[in-house]
Chains A and B, each alone.
Chain A
Amino acid sequence: MKNSAEKPSSIVVAAFPALGRYVSKGGWLCFLAGFVGALFLGWYVFPKLLYSSQPQPFNFSHKVHLEEADDPEDVESCLNCHAFRDDGTFVGIPRLDKCKECHEDPESPLGDSDDEATFLTNYMAEKKEVPWLSYSRQPDCVYFSHAAHVKMGEIECKTCHGPHGGSEVLPLYRENRISGYPIGIWGERISGLKTNTWDRMKMDDCAECHTEKGHEENNACFVCHK
């Protein structure tokens, strides 16, 4: 370790004697240690520190619920539960009433898993809404009309939310300790780079899509802010 560290410095000292005073005593090594340490900190430690994680109340399998659907990623399949109300507003995560429609049916075979049992005893029986943690919760200043995007824009759910109709396990919910946003807004990658449309949900991503689709008028502030 010591040898290899001193090697480059000795070359430099040989070439430029005046540098000797500065390069001695492993000066480069210190610099390098700082440099590499910072890279490690920024790319590995920082994301770990930045996000806290919380468990969901119990696991939910989209796959099980979409077993009968032809295409679990199809908009219509999603809309069965993540529905629109009559006034065009979007339900988001379904409420207990929605779950009731099937789970209260005495004829359907229920109670297969522990999670389902949790649901039935802790929430259904108690008439308590499930405190789901939303993976795509936007801050209060954001207005988002699902109707405009899904009904008029004919955009698929997965374009923003990613394909998860076939998922059996809910991903771990992680929240930014500073901003309080779920991790999905910035994206899983700490670099902020994205490969899929659903990797990030920042304002720039909204604007990018609007622009791409030729709807720059929808980049007007009040369209998405309230």
Chain B
Amino acid sequence: MGVTRRNFVKFAIGGVAGLHLTPLPYKLMDDIAIWTQNWPWVPVPPEGEFLSVKSVCGLCPGGCGIQVRKVDERAVKIEGRTDYPVNPGGICPSGMGGLQLLYDRDLRHTGPMKRVGPRGSGDFMEITWDEAIKTVAERIASLRKNAKTEALVSVDGNSKGSTLSLMIERLTKAAGSPNYVRMPSLEDTYEMGNLLMMGNNGPMAYDLENSDYVLSFGSGLLEGWGGPGRIMNAWAVLREKASKGGATVVQIESRASNTASKSDKWIAARPGTDAALALGIAHVIIRDNLYDQQFVSNYTSGFEKFKTMVLGQYSPEKIVDITGVGKEAIKAMADGFARAKAPVAIYGKGKGTLNGSLFEFMSVQALNALKGNINKPGGIIISDPLPLATLPAISPDGVAERGILTPRFDQAGTNKYPFAVSLINNLIDVINHSDKSPVDTLLVFSANPAFTLPDSGEVNRALKKIPFIVSFSPFRDETSFMADLVLPDHSYLEKTDDIVRPNGLQYQLYGLTRPVVKPVYNTRSAGDTIINIAKAVDTKTASSFPWKDYESVLKIRAKGLFDSGGGLVRYKGAEPAWKWKTASDGPDYKSFGDMWKKIKTDGLWYRKLMPSAIDSGIFKTASNRFEFFISQLELAVKDYPTAAPGGNRLKELGITVEGDAAFMPHYEGNHHHDEQLPLTMAPYEMVNLASGWAPSPPFAYKTIFDDQLLGSDSFAIINPGTASEFRIKQGDYIIIQSKACAVKARASLSHGAMPGVVYMPLGFGHTAYDEFIREKGVNPNLLIPPGKDPLSGHPVWWTTPVKIMKG
């Protein structure tokens, strides 16, 4: 018969007919359907046993309680803890996305690294831990051998009083250097101001939850100020009270921030005029006799001088001119504040990851003193530091002793900056103004100065001059890209570390993070690394670090909590920890061993709010009173010699007013006026965009609006009126130029912006990290030229004269 076309057709027809009587067509159809539903490249998360591990968030000093949901060894979700007093259930967006910071390989240093590319390129080669530690130790040992130990400088971004901070300072000192430099923070301003006015640099807190009138001078309550977990909860408490007519929040800020928009009253004062406004309010309070006369006469000194100054120089008429706030508004705030039962005037600038202005803070603090709301419910709370045990003193050898006594590079604590503890901006200046960097080896811990410090152009110039930089950052941040050696720390989800009293918390609380997962990469806890380095330097240095590991140091310090008696290690949530108590709680543990075990599983030790009474000696000034007229400042001016013969001490300290006012909270005036730069650039912060050391998790970029970031451009917010003067429309490219630099951004027009001010978000413009974060927007820190806050010596970053043009 042969294979003809006809026969083949018949064969085919028969075949097709036959096939339809087999399961093949519908089975294939079913399988193909399934195939199209399970593409092999779509990840399938493995199933397993669900576990929940309790810990504490370590991304910011807020110290929120977190519980991590795990599937076998994988962490799959971070949630807030309801059994933690700081944040009953909620956490901030960054904390929520923390797992991306744990797992994203391109965000992390996956092991000890040696730089192979040029500085800033991020090209590293992985080395062994032994080699890394040996390299650092040899470097320090050689400085010690050559008696140049002061050339070892460490920069620390950990919060003050944390054990890791102590260890870093200890290593620096034990090696023989006085140059332990801290990153600036709002806490520094609080501490300095309180030391001057109250003689007490103990932790200060604002008792927001119990307050009924919150007068906020620029604090980004909803932008991440203090611990966002706690503050947002406090906000809910205040809103709940407000809905029953029992609480008012007034936000003083030039921009309609979230806090301003959400508060009961938004007062738009010109940036940098908070001191004038506070003193204007004080004027009305004193004029109308609304202040707490009993407190003022019993517990303050210098009131008469203060009264004279305020009544003489800060009349509402004058304040209107300075601040742009109406007379009625000033009167209303004075009335509201003074007539409230538990008012509090709080001071801050954005999140508080950078310093504030000292005289502004003191002016605001004067309001609190007028109302006498110190250590009273709803007021400001000054308390003792956590009763942690102190570590044994270091035993420096001759080399170290010599080194420690050399002057600090940043001049903090010298006659020029008598009240400053640490001034990293000065360190940058010193390096940039020397031919050869006086700093030989820089150790950077939990900080990203190359990105977060104002005037970041200068910072990067200084970093480039430093011969050897060692970064301990777990993240591939800008500063670590400048480093020659990276000894990556664990992330906060992989290590045990303490959170010593979260920022701004009224009651005493000690938090402890725990390893939620086994280390994902070849990293080591920085505390352990420090001990290892010290041991490798030489025996003398090693003798200051007699511990097996970091955890034993933590345990030794925690013993102090036990020894202080009382305290609780379990929180039930029935009664908030900020409720005022008259009798002390607990303890709810049997022995120190029991306490430590419980702290390690539940991550907390705390005492409910029980501040010391006002007459129990919290004012440790010369007069043992709250000083409106600051005697210590008078002393520093009158008794200390001037730098140059015949010089003016006040001028040297940066104070421009004269007479008694110079020693009291006062408004310094605006000295920035410049015809060429008619506008003001004010950086602002957002709760959903990290602007500090730890990066934003990529998740958080979902929450950024596209009029804040679009593609690779960030936006500067401008009032539509101002924009029209420059013929700028929504979305236009603009060039913003200051003395320091010119940057390109896009314009976002908003009626929430004060005319004449350009607002730029902090946190964009990264050049490191990975594709989620890198090359998005511009960092306003680039624009900020060097400038010093009077008396404190900290940088002035909140206002920068600029001009704009269409770009």
Contacts and interface: CB of A to CB of B under 8 A. Distances in A.
The answer to whether any beta carbons of A and B sit under 8 Å apart in the complex is yes
B12 A34 contact: yes
Contacts of B13: 31, 34
Interface of A: 25-39, 41-43, 46, 50, 85, 87, 89, 91-92, 139-141, 176, 178-181, 186, 190-192
B23 A190 contact: yes
Given A25-B2, A178-B31, A181-B34, A34 B23 contact: no
Contacts of B19: 38, 41-42
B10 A34 contact: yes
Contacts of A39: 18, 21-22
Contacts of A37: 14-15, 18
28 contacts: A25-B6, A30-B1, A30-B10, A30-B14, A31-B10, A33-B14, A34-B15, A34-B17, A35-B18, A37-B15, A37-B18, A38-B14, A38-B17, A38-B19, A38-B22, A39-B18, A42-B19, A42-B22, A43-B23, A50-B31, A85-B49, A140-B38, A140-B44, A178-B28, A178-B34, A178-B35, A179-B38, A190-B27
B24 interface: yes
B32 interface: yes
Nearest to A23: B10
Given A32-B14, A34-B18, A35-B15, A25 B4 contact: yes
B27 A192 contact: yes
A176 B38 CA distance: 13
Contact of B27 (A29, A33, A50, A141): A50
Nearest to A193: B23
B726 interface: no
B484 to A, nearest CB: 40
B37 A141 contact: yes
Contact of B1 (A26, A46, A139, A192): A26
Given A25-B1, A30-B7, A42-B21, A180 B49 contact: no
A190 B27 CA distance: 8
Nearest to B1: A26
B37 A31 contact: no
Contacts of B47: 92
A33 B38 contact: no
Given A140-B44, A178-B34, A29 B1 contact: yes
Nearest to A43: B22
B155 to A, nearest CB: 43
A182 to B, nearest CB: 12
A26 B24 contact: no
A187 to B, nearest CB: 11
A167 B120 CA distance: 65
Nearest to A42: B22
A38 B24 CA distance: 10
Interface of B: 1-2, 4, 6-8, 10-19, 21-24, 26-28, 30-32, 34-35, 37-38, 42, 44-45, 47, 49-50
B14 to A, nearest CB: 3
A203 to B, nearest CB: 11
A93 B19 CA distance: 39
Nearest to B6: A27
Contacts of B49: 85, 89, 91
A41 B18 CA distance: 9
B201 to A, nearest CB: 48
A46 B17 contact: no
A27 B22 contact: no
Contacts of A91: 49
A31 B11 contact: yes
A191 B25 CA distance: 11
A193 to B, nearest CB: 9
A38 B23 CA distance: 11
A50 B23 CA distance: 12
B42 to A, nearest CB: 8
Contacts of B27: 46, 50, 186, 190, 192
Contacts of B7: 25-27, 30
Contacts of B34: 139, 176, 178-181
Contacts of B24: 41-42, 46
B11 A30 contact: yes
Contacts of A87: 50
Nearest to B34: A179
B1 A180 contact: no
Given A42-B18, A178-B35, A179-B38, 5 more contacts: A30-B7, A37-B14, A87-B50, A178-B34, A179-B31
Contacts of B12: 34
A35 B17 contact: yes
A87 to B, nearest CB: 6
Nearest to B40: A180
B355 to A, nearest CB: 48
A36 B2 contact: no
